[in-house]
């Protein structure tokens, strides 16, 4: 077999060892990505608003997500996530997000509903800051 063909086969073999099988976009991965991301964003938002700082872990975020297309719970496309967390006053809160997840493991989460506010929020010093929770992007490892 000529050299280049051998090289090509070796290359495919290497790549094959990397990954094969069903989609890596799973419910578990999405939930494990969006929950800490949301917590970190709330923490950053609190800081930007000039409110007393709170650690991300204080919010105790839990996520549960499902794929919008019935009968499937993996793959890219539209997902809906519900985040259950404790607000700054330790009140239990529940927020829903519409997600669009792409095959490379990145998603855009848009808040469904008004509970988290509009695109911008007013800080304690009167300035307008972007509402990090209104819509945000994230990525997770699909390998």
Binding of another protein by 91 (CB under 8 A):
no
* Residue from 89, 114, 125, 141 binding another protein (CB under 8 A): 141
- Contact segment (CB under 8 A) with another protein among 43-51, 80-88, 91-99, 120-128 equals 43-51
Q: Which stretch binds another protein (CB under 8 A): 31-39, 84-92, 120-128?
A: 31-39
- Distance, in Å, from the CA atom of 46 to the CA atom of 55, rounded to the nearest integer, reads 10
Least spacing, CB of residue 73 vs another protein, in Å:
13
* Per-residue contact string for residues 96-115; x = within reach of another protein by CB under 8 A: ------xxxxx---------
**SS3 letters for the chain?**
CCHHHHHHHHHHHHHHHHCCCCCCCEHHHHHHHHHHHHHHHHHHHHHHCCCCCCCHHHHCCEEEEEECCCCCCECCEEEEEEEEEECCCCCEEEEEEEEEECCCCEEEEEEECCCCCCCEEECCCCCEEECCCCEEEEECCCC
User: Does residue 49 belong to the site contacting another protein (CB under 8 A)?
Assistant: no
Contact between 130 and another protein by CB under 8 A: the answer reads: yes
Q: Which residues bind another protein (CB under 8 A)?
A: 2-4, 7-8, 10-12, 14-16, 18-25, 33, 36-41, 43-44, 47, 75-77, 102-106, 130, 132, 135-143
């Amino acid at each position: 077999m000529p050299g280049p063909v051998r090289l090509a086969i070796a290359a495919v073999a290497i790549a094959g060892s990397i990954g094969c099988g069903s989609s890596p976009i799973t419910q578990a991965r999405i939930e494990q990505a969006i929950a800490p991301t949301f917590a970190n964003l709330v923490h950053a938002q609190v800081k930007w608003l000039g409110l007393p700082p709170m650690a991300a872990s204080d919010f105790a975020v839990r996520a549960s997500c499902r794929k919008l297309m019935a009968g499937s719970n993996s793959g890219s496309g539209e997902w809906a996530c519900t985040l259950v967390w404790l607000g700054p006053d330790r009140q239990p809160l529940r927020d829903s997000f519409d997600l669009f997840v792409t095959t490379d493991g990145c998603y855009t989460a848009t808040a469904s509903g008004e509970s988290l506010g509009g695109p911008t929020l007013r800080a304690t010093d009167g300035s307008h800051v972007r509402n990090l929770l209104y819509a945000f992007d994230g990525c997770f490892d699909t390998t």
